[in-house]
Structure 1
Amino acid sequence: MRATLRWAHSDLRTHRGEALFLVLATAGVVVSLLLATALFGYATNPWQRLFTQSRGAHVWLHTADTADAGRLNALDGVASVAGPYPTAPATLASGGGARASVELRGTPDRPSVGRPLLTSGHWLDPENPDGVVLESRLAHALLAGPGDTLTLPGTARKLTVLGVADSPEPRYRPGERPGLVWALPSAVHDPVGQVTGLRLADPEDTDYMVQRAVTELGAGAVTKVSTWTQARAEEQGSDRLLGQVLGLFGLGALIAAGLAVHGAIATRIRGHLRDISILKAIGFTPGQVVRVYLLQHLAYALLGAVSAAALTEALGNRLPGRLGDAVGVWQGLPGHAVALFAVPVGAVLFIAATTGLAAWRAGRVPPVPVPRRLSSAGGGLSRPVRRLLGVRLSPALVLGWHTAFARRPRTLATVARLALPLLLIVVALSAWSTIDRFQSHPERIGLPTALTVHTDSGIAAGEARAILDEDPQVADVYPSAEVAALVPGQTSTIALRGLGTADNPYPHALAEGRAARGPDEAVAGQGLLNLLDAKVGDWVRMTVGDDVQILHIVGRSIEPENAGRSISTSLDTLRENDPDLTPSRYELRLDKDAEASEVAARLTEEGRGHLDVHTVPNPADSLSPLRGVVIGVITVLALIGLIELLTAIGGMVREGERDLLALKAIGLSPRQITGITVTATAVTALGAVLVGTALGSVLGRWLIDAQGSSSGVGAGIASGPPAAILLALGAAAVAGAAAVAAVPAARAARHRLTDALNTVA
């Protein structure tokens, strides 16, 4: 045991830098995997916990106020019912100038199904008929809390905020979905519909129960359907995406780290065959030799994994933004301790498996040293190499190129191990470039407009249009209307939108097909195509109230909103079924130098309370933490690449020491001998750069488009890194490899002849 420890200690002193990088790389990999686990827990658990505590309804049906929703109690599979509650749309404004579209819901008593969980204040009080309770995200948007007074622009009414509550229903999204306001039925003036919640005995029967409920009430009576699965998917959103990104890169980095360790041990064994033979000759068993390498690298991995777990546990909740929030929530979940133990152990076991596979070869080394032949850099030169040397090309370049590919299987393995971290770095840069594209060119990913303007009944369509057209910084105005439509099978609702007119068509971002130009033509989002199992070229039938709308899908548009469950045609097409349809909102494209917030404030003031102006949300805003993730991932992958590079350089230097006599005998100077190793390293790095960049660009685009397709946004959003960035990455990798190789190669080239003789022996 003492001899084993002395051998391990000697090897550690010789390879201190490599040992340090192995520890840091393992720590980075484990931190990535732990953060991914935290984000997955954060994305799923808070909503699920809220849904359970509030006894959330699995289905919410918005119907006409004449529908007999009481019949839903008798449906088999319905455990309990909330409502029906009268509803009315409204716009609320706070004293600070914030405005929001809301749905007033008349709730006489605090419901037992879909029960809002108060976070501040108290529930509705019959002695305060104008008191309301706000959904928490709506309260945050209005900067309102208990005791504040809200107004309804265009009217003299005022509402007092009594409380703020959390709800598992789909939450407020400016310009897309109204916020939820609970009020006494007497405070809901002129209700236009009602909403009923169904809690099911079996949540897996949600689609079937929706179909039965719509059939029971009649398709014409149902205006909108929302389910618990849609609300859960929406709440998980970007947090789950961040978890997937971290998990993907963490697993990729773990594989790269395992391969780097395997390559390091294999190269070290080739360089110490004589030492291993001597160890066996003096009594070391094959098992002891294997344990030397296995325990040594297992200690590195264990140190890195334990450090990562301790760092994540102690400082993870102090990370900025949602990463810190995710770790804080995850630390309070029941499975936290298991994950904190299982993830580092799994990483260590994987590295141990790759280490053991390579160390097993050391146990097979014979106890009698076998004379090693000179490498082909010094002998056995091929005819093309000898010819190149004869035309007075630089011997360092020619022999360096020859050394790199003299032993093709070994070189190809080194190129593959170096290419893997480079490939993942290119994928990470692709994610960064895609986020930049979302922010710098939103029109290319389905966001050609900057503002959405909603109008109320207090202003005529012509007057509203005139206010928008007269603004000097508004470049284009696209009138639009959106209605909820039931899909075939009546299991869910989608957004049917009329955008623009034949004279001024809406500039959709198309990823497939063509724009909708003729009557009954439309473009659809990927989420809708997935929902209906349809494709471009199909005709789809949907129900809007008692009317049937049949549209021909001629293109697939990139739809960041509504999970892509949208189908868009022109306003003229919608008016064919409803000639009295007037635009209820307008999409505004601004001048390039216009500030959206300033234009919104100006239009709100000119509308005198009848225009509700919102900035179009950009999905990239919620993905800002991904930039920090990308930086961390690139750092870890660079460490892994450096480990593999040091391994390759060490192998080349040891091979070059055996050729030292031959190279000096033919008249090469120490500088030229150094140049051989540097050139061989640079050529190997160049091969890895070419392979990693080519495969990484393709894989990055495919992964991003696959994620876009599964989320409903649709494929076609991926943006690869600029060519200049890839060239800079490749040049830095090759130049860095040459620079790292220069020092050990120069030291080896200055060895005395007696040292070289001992190496060859």
Structure 2
Amino acid sequence: MRATLRWAHSDLRTHRGEALFLGLATAGIVLSLLLATALFGYATNPWQRVFEQTRGAHVWLHTARSAKVGKLAGLDGVESVAGPYATEATTVTSHGTRAAVELRATPQHVSAGRPLLVSGRWLDPANPDGVVLESHLAHALLAEPGDTLTLLGTARTLTVLGVAESDEPRYDPDEQPGLVWAPPTAVHSPNGQVIGLRLTNPDDTDYAVQRAVTVLGAGAIGEVATWQQARAEAQGDNRLLGQVLGLFGLGALIAAGLAVHGAITTRIRGHLRDISILKAIGFTPGQVVRVFLLQHIAYALLGAVTAATLTRALGSRLPGRLGDAIGLWQGLPSHAVALAAIPAAAVLFIAATTALAAWRAGRVPPVPMPLPSVRGGGTAPQPGGRLSAPARRALGMRVPPALVLGWHVAFARRARSLTAVARLALPLLLIVVAMSAWTTISRFHSEPGRIGLPAALTVHADAGLDDREIRALLARDPQVAAAYPGVEVAALVPGQTATIALRGFGTRRDPYPYALAEGRPPRGSDEAVAGQGLLDLLDVRVGDWVRMTVGNQPQILHIVGRSIETENAGRVISTSLDTLHENDPQLTGTLYQVRLRPGADPDQAARRLTAAGDGRLDVHTVTNPADGLSPLRGVAVGVIAVLALIGLVELLTAIGGTVREGERDLLALKAIGLSPRQITAVTITATGCTTLAAALTGTALGAPLAHWLINAQGRSSGIGAGIAQGPPPALLLLFGTAAVLGATALSALPAARAARRRLADTLSAVA
């Protein structure tokens, strides 16, 4: 054991850089996987916690006041009901901000579906005008307990008693009104009611909705909200961040395992004589295997422990969403298990790849095999084997011999060359995927119109303004390029199991600029475009006809295109306002989608339009989903750094192997008249050729793989394929050039040292 430790210590002193890089790479990989686990927990558990603590309903049905919802309590599979509660749709203002809300008449004592208070207190009968706000609505209104809300168009005011979290869909200024829980006496003009159904089997949600629609009638139900929709919306971008981190973490782990395997294999080939000496002095094959295995397990273990320690000690102090995610994750019961299991799994994977390479060291014979002194009829050995016909022709055409021999050394042994190229290409491929993710997010910010967000503002007007006055107000702003009247309503899908968003934007004379990934825009009567989420929900394709109902009024539309929809999980179908009005005269424009001129600031434009309207215009900026993906840029930078470390380890391995294998060719190269500078150029050229082949392979495979992965994520989220954007060709060219130049620069020093070795050292190496 003492001899084993001394040999391992000596080897560590000789290869300090390799050990450092392997440890750092392992730390980065384990850190990525731990962050991915934390983000998955952060995405799921906050909503799940609220749902369980509030005993939330699996289905919320918004119905007409006349609907006899009491029958729903007796349906099979319904465990309990929340409500029914009378509702009033209105608009409130606070601190100069307005929001569409749903006043919900809620008793003081609620058995099921009661919100979870985060500040203030619950409803009090002694305060008939006291209300509780949903947390996202309170954030939008900048409202806190004690503040006063004003109902737009009236002299009525409400006092905020508390702020609460709910398991229902959260407030969205463009899609979802905010929830305001109020005493029944505060709901003066109810225009609907809502009831929640808690089911014995949550998987039967669709069936329960169908039964409810059958009992009440399709015309009685205005909107259906299920627990799956609320959970998916609450998870939002955090789950995507976790998936990206997990994907890159696993990819980096595979790349690191291959890098370790290649490093050990190359070192074994370069230390055959040392291994033979170890066996000659009494080392068993098992001891030799353990030397290599324990060394690299120690490197991996050190990196994994470092990552786990950093995550435990500093993770919650990270800024933004990552810090919040780790702080929440550390409070979960599964945290301790994951904190130990993930590093252990990473170390075991690296140990498995190490064991396969170390096993070869145990098979080295105790007597070193003499290297052949001649090749091919007693002539001097040639680097890498016999020159190929193209190489000989290149020499005959006076191509510099260093270039010809370097290319020959890089690709003479096909199996070994292809393995080296593949190992180096994997981290480069993953870097190209990370660059593509960065470019796609940047495109969301710079060109929102191409990913389904042509409008920057949404404008709602008071009832006293007609279309001509509103258009005149908008046209007077110098930064407004166009305004499209529209309406958005909830519609029941065929089968009556869920509601979707039915939109009518623009007119046939002034069509709305949809971002299409497939098909064509709607031009004629009854033509529409749909998001990927709706196509998946209804199991239809472009070219099909779909039927939906708004109240009792059917809408039959022909899907002529697939639009990129970033909202409502892609469960959106859009047509012109003219088409909706023709099918249902009651559907008229209630809002305006405003497109700004290039370079205009949406926030400044919203403030100007609000001031110009003298309080008669409610202006909101359209939320860009890329705002929630901003942390992904930092993730991409960290991933690229980890992959660069792994690539550097693989590159150092390739350089070391080329230098060691070139030692026995040194005499032959000097015998044919090559100078030390030319011999150095042979090694540099071989390294450059290997890196160039890896860069070309990584780029050629990484670009289409990135498109496929990003579009697959788009399809699964409902946005749809067509959002992927690859890095500019100039950036890919710069990336490949930097990789090749960096590799050649890194190989220059060891190649120069090997070329200037004394002849006696060279003879001992090949003896």
The question of 1:21 aligning with 2:8 is answered: no
Residue 19 of structure 2: SS of its match in structure 1? Answer: helix
Structure 1 residue 231: deviation in Å?
0.4
Measured in 1, the distance between the counterparts of 2:149 and 2:623 equals: 24
Measured in 2, the distance between the counterparts of 1:417 and 1:41 equals: 33
> 1:114-513 residue pairs with structure 2 within 5 A?
114-373=113-372, 376-377=382-383, 380-513=386-519
Q: Residues 376 and 342 (structure 1 numbering): CA distance in 2 closer, same or farther, change over 3 Å?
A: farther
Do 1:376 and 1:403's aligned partners in 2 also have CA atoms closer than 8 Å? no
Do 1:456 and 1:584's aligned partners in 2 also have CA atoms closer than 8 Å? no
Measured in 2, the distance between the counterparts of 1:446 and 1:615 equals: 15
> 1:740-759 residue pairs with structure 2 within 5 A?
740-759=746-765
Do 1:25 and 1:640's aligned partners in 2 also have CA atoms closer than 8 Å? yes
Matching residue of 1:615 = 621
Matching residue of 2:96 = 97
Structure-2-length-normalised TM-score: 0.98
Show structure 1 runs of 5+ residues with no match. none
Do 1:378 and 1:662's aligned partners in 2 also have CA atoms closer than 8 Å? no
Match of 2:565 among 555, 559, 569: 559
Measured in 2, the distance between the counterparts of 1:316 and 1:481 equals: 45
Matching residue of 2:58 = 58
Measured in 2, the distance between the counterparts of 1:576 and 1:306 equals: 67
Measured in 2, the distance between the counterparts of 1:462 and 1:671 equals: 81
Residue 82 of structure 2: SS of its match in structure 1? Answer: strand
> 1:654-693 residue pairs with structure 2 within 5 A?
654-693=660-699
Measured in 2, the distance between the counterparts of 1:470 and 1:110 equals: 52
Measured in 1, the distance between the counterparts of 2:382 and 2:108 equals: 88
Residues 108-149 of structure 1 deviation map (CA, whole Å, 9 limit, x = unaligned): 333221111111111122222221110011111111111111
Structure 1 residue 378: deviation in Å?
6.7
Structure 1 residue 538: deviation in Å?
0.7
Superposition RMSD in Å: 1.2
Give the paired residue count: 760
Measured in 1, the distance between the counterparts of 2:314 and 2:219 equals: 55
Do 1:210 and 1:492's aligned partners in 2 also have CA atoms closer than 8 Å? yes
Residues 36-93 of structure 1 deviation map (CA, whole Å, 9 limit, x = unaligned): 0000111111110110000001000001111111111111111111111111222111
Matching residue of 2:85 = 85
Structure 1 residue 399: deviation in Å?
0.6
Structure 1 residue 606: deviation in Å?
3.2
The question of 1:602 aligning with 2:601 is answered: no
Do 2:382 and 2:668's aligned partners in 1 also have CA atoms closer than 8 Å? no
The question of 1:732 aligning with 2:738 is answered: yes
Measured in 1, the distance between the counterparts of 2:483 and 2:563 equals: 20
- Which amino acid is the alignment partner of residue 482 of structure 1? E
Structure 1 residue 549: deviation in Å?
1.1
Runs of 4+ in 1 over 4 A off after TM superposition: none
Measured in 2, the distance between the counterparts of 1:526 and 1:141 equals: 29
Structure 1 residue 379: deviation in Å?
5.5
Do 2:90 and 2:152's aligned partners in 1 also have CA atoms closer than 8 Å? no
Q: Once the two structures are aligned, what percentage of the paired residues are identical? A: 75
Do 1:153 and 1:610's aligned partners in 2 also have CA atoms closer than 8 Å? no
The question of 1:723 aligning with 2:722 is answered: no
- Which amino acid is the alignment partner of residue 581 of structure 1? L
Matching residue of 1:714 = 720
Residues 239-294 of structure 1 deviation map (CA, whole Å, 9 limit, x = unaligned): 00000000000000000000000000000111111111121122111101100100
Match of 1:591 among 590, 597, 601: 597
Measured in 2, the distance between the counterparts of 1:279 and 1:179 equals: 75
Do 2:565 and 2:572's aligned partners in 1 also have CA atoms closer than 8 Å? yes
- Which amino acid is the alignment partner of residue 224 of structure 2? V
Residue 229 of structure 2: SS of its match in structure 1? Answer: helix
Do 2:606 and 2:621's aligned partners in 1 also have CA atoms closer than 8 Å? yes
Measured in 2, the distance between the counterparts of 1:161 and 1:460 equals: 33
Do 2:108 and 2:124's aligned partners in 1 also have CA atoms closer than 8 Å? no
Matching residue of 1:108 = 107
The question of 1:3 aligning with 2:35 is answered: no
Measured in 1, the distance between the counterparts of 2:359 and 2:195 equals: 67
Structure 1 residue 106: deviation in Å?
1.2
Residues 631-666 of structure 1 deviation map (CA, whole Å, 9 limit, x = unaligned): 000000000000000000001001111111111111
Structure 1 residue 169: deviation in Å?
0.6
Measured in 2, the distance between the counterparts of 1:578 and 1:760 equals: 90
Residues 486-509 of structure 1 deviation map (CA, whole Å, 9 limit, x = unaligned): 111100000011110000000000
Do 1:154 and 1:610's aligned partners in 2 also have CA atoms closer than 8 Å? no
Structure 1 residue 196: deviation in Å?
0.7
Residue 122 of structure 2: SS of its match in structure 1? Answer: coil
- Which amino acid is the alignment partner of residue 226 of structure 1? A
Residue 491 of structure 2: SS of its match in structure 1? Answer: strand
Residue 37 of structure 2: SS of its match in structure 1? Answer: helix
Residue 277 of structure 2: SS of its match in structure 1? Answer: helix
Structure 1 residue 391: deviation in Å?
2.7
Do 1:110 and 1:123's aligned partners in 2 also have CA atoms closer than 8 Å? no
- Which amino acid is the alignment partner of residue 430 of structure 2? L
Do 1:480 and 1:587's aligned partners in 2 also have CA atoms closer than 8 Å? yes
Greater alpha carbon shift after TM alignment, 384-393 vs 558-567: 384-393
Structure 1 residue 377: deviation in Å?
1.5
The question of 1:696 aligning with 2:695 is answered: no
Structure 1 residue 154: deviation in Å?
2.3
Measured in 2, the distance between the counterparts of 1:373 and 1:491 equals: 78
Structure 1 residue 152: deviation in Å?
2.0
Match of 2:644 among 638, 641, 647: 638
Show structure 2 runs of 5+ residues with no match. 374-380
Structure 1 residue 328: deviation in Å?
0.2
Structure 1 residue 376: deviation in Å?
4.1
Measured in 1, the distance between the counterparts of 2:578 and 2:667 equals: 86
Measured in 1, the distance between the counterparts of 2:307 and 2:233 equals: 31
Measured in 2, the distance between the counterparts of 1:609 and 1:189 equals: 24
- Which amino acid is the alignment partner of residue 644 of structure 1? E
Residues 222-249 of structure 1 deviation map (CA, whole Å, 9 limit, x = unaligned): 0000001110011111000000000000
Do 1:101 and 1:612's aligned partners in 2 also have CA atoms closer than 8 Å? no
Residue 727 of structure 2: SS of its match in structure 1? Answer: coil
Measured in 1, the distance between the counterparts of 2:469 and 2:653 equals: 74
Residue 107 of structure 2: SS of its match in structure 1? Answer: coil
Measured in 2, the distance between the counterparts of 1:378 and 1:573 equals: 74
Do 2:132 and 2:180's aligned partners in 1 also have CA atoms closer than 8 Å? yes
Do 1:527 and 1:563's aligned partners in 2 also have CA atoms closer than 8 Å? yes
